């Protein structure tokens, strides 16, 4: 009940933001929310299953290119294009998840990386469809069924992204708190033991990977029609690395942390890159700092502070 109220309050507050924010800020805000959604999808793998994917750009790229092709070639209504792109991402994620979950640890990371790079390479192989290094530009936002057009404007698109982000968050939160999530946590802590308890751990991991790809695909599918183009860089491993950074800095295993991490990171990057060109230097150093000294991320740090403070009053000792 308290959770429902919080979500409603946040949703309402967020819906008011565009009314006070200047128009140019809205563009960055929408991009930030999309990236937050993307980071959250990776958190499902990293934070809950300890599945360090180094190829999550594949999910983003698949969603973006899928949506771009559906909208430019078939002129599908925007909602249908996004939905079908997510579906396509889920389908492609199935064999990827099947192969990647054969391995664990570093091999898993490398396999996911291989798939993302394979996707990157395929864009150049099938130039006539994907536009090769030029990518796809001029992606429209065709009107929806029954002549719905509210999402064609920037303000409307903000609400579309906002709704998708909140909806995905509520869904993912429910999943990680369900019995499914409990098994996943068991795998994260001790896979052998969980398997000994009779759970098909690989099946759980596969489901997590597919789910993460689906949500990541949604982020990509939202990005392409907003930016108006899709380029091969979306598949490149630097994107995977960046989003992983955001998950860690935001706080893996919290869902909210990576959303904030992704959104804040993108906005910071936008603002700071206007002021100083050594921005990557700052961000790289900050990242190293976080991994070494605060591996639970900003949100984790806050939560831990609060937990230890609470403990102090009960136990009387730190």
Partner 1 sequence: MTGFLGFILTQCLNALSQAAILFFIACGLTLIFGIMRIVNFAHGVIFMLGAYVGYTIIAVTGSFVLSLIVAPIVVGAVGMAFERTLLRRLYGRRDGGAYLMVTFGLAVVLSEAIRLVWGPQPLGSGIPDFLRGIVLVLGQPFPLYRVFLIGLGIAAALAVWQFLERTRAGLLIRAVSQNAEMVHALGTDVDLVRTGVFGLGCAMAALGGVLAAPLVTAFLGMGTTTVIDAFVIVIIGGMGSFLGSIVGSLLVAVVQVFGAYYFQDLALALMYALMLAILVARPGGLLGKEE
Which chain residues interact with partner 1 by CB under 8 A?
46, 50, 52, 54, 99, 102-107, 109-111, 113-115, 117-118, 120-122, 124-125, 127, 237-238, 241, 244-245, 248, 278, 280-281, 283-285, 287-288, 291-292, 295
Nearest CA to 212 among 54, 33, 56?
A: 56
Asked whether the beta carbons of 39 and 261 are under 8 A apart, the reply is: yes
Minimum CB separation of residue 256 from partner 1 in Å reads 20
Within 10 Å of residue 109's Cβ, how many Cβ atoms?
19
Angle (deg, nearest 10), helices 279-293 and 256-275: 150
Q: Which is nearer to partner 1, 44 or 84 (CB)?
A: 44
Minimum CB separation of residue 291 from partner 1 in Å reads 5
Minimum CB separation of residue 122 from partner 1 in Å reads 6
Q: Which is nearer to partner 1, 99 or 143 (CB)?
A: 99
Minimum CB separation of residue 166 from partner 1 in Å reads 28
Task: Annotate 244-268 with b (16+ C-beta within 10 A) or e (fewer).
Answer: bbbbbbbbbbbbbbbbbbbbbbbbe
Q: Which is nearer to partner 1, 72 or 109 (CB)?
A: 109
Q: Which is nearer to partner 1, 89 or 101 (CB)?
A: 101
Q: Any idea which residue has 């994620």 for tokens?
A: 93
DSSP state string for 8-73 = HHHHHHHHHHHHHS-HHHHHHHHHHHHHHHHHHHHHHHHHHH----S-THHHHHHHHHHHHHHHHH
Q: Which is nearer to partner 1, 157 or 283 (CB)?
A: 283
Q: Which is nearer to partner 1, 109 or 168 (CB)?
A: 109
- Which backbone phi and psi does 90 adopt, to 5 degrees? -60, -45
Minimum CB separation of residue 295 from partner 1 in Å reads 7
Asked whether the beta carbons of 54 and 244 are under 8 A apart, the reply is: yes
Minimum CB separation of residue 19 from partner 1 in Å reads 37
Q: Which is nearer to partner 1, 165 or 187 (CB)?
A: 187
Minimum CB separation of residue 120 from partner 1 in Å reads 8
Q: What is the CA radius of gyration of the chain?
A: 20
């Amino acid at each position: 009940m308290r959770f429902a109220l919080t979500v409603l309050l946040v949703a309402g507050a967020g819906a008011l933001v565009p009314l006070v924010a200047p128009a140019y800020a809205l563009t960055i805000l929408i991009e930030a929310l999309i990236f937050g959604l993307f980071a959250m999808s990776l958190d499902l793998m990293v934070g809950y299953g300890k599945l360090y994917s180094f190829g999550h750009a594949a999910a983003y790229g698949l969603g973006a290119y899928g949506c771009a092709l559906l909208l430019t070639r078939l002129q599908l209504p925007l909602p249908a294009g996004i939905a079908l792109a997510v579906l396509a991402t889920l389908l492609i994620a199935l064999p990827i998840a099947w192969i990647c979950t054969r391995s664990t640890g570093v091999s898993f990371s490398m396999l996911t990386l291989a798939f993302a790079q394979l996707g990157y390479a395929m864009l150049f192989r099938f130039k006539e469809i994907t536009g090769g290094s030029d990518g796809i530009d001029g992606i429209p936002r065709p009107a929806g069924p029954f002549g719905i057009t509210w999402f064609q404007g920037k303000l409307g698109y903000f609400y579309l992204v906002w709704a998708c982000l909140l909806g995905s968050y509520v869904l993912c939160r429910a999943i990680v708190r369900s019995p499914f999530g409990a098994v996943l946590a068991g795998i994260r802590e001790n896979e052998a033991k969980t398997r000994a308890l009779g759970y098909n751990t690989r099946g759980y991991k596969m489901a997590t990977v597919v789910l993460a790809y689906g949500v990541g695909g949604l982020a990509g599918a939202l990005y392409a029609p907003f930016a108006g183009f899709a380029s091969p860089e979306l598949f490149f491993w630097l994107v995977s690395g960046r989003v992983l950074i955001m998950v860690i800095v935001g706080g893996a295993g919290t869902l909210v942390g990576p959303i904030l991490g992704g959104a804040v990171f993108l906005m910071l990057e936008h603002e700071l890159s206007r002021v100083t060109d050594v921005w990557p230097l700052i961000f790289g150093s900050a990242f190293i700092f976080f991994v070494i000294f605060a591996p639970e991320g900003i949100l984790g740090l806050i939560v831990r502070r609060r937990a230890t403070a609470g403990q102090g009053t009960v136990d009387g000792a730190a």
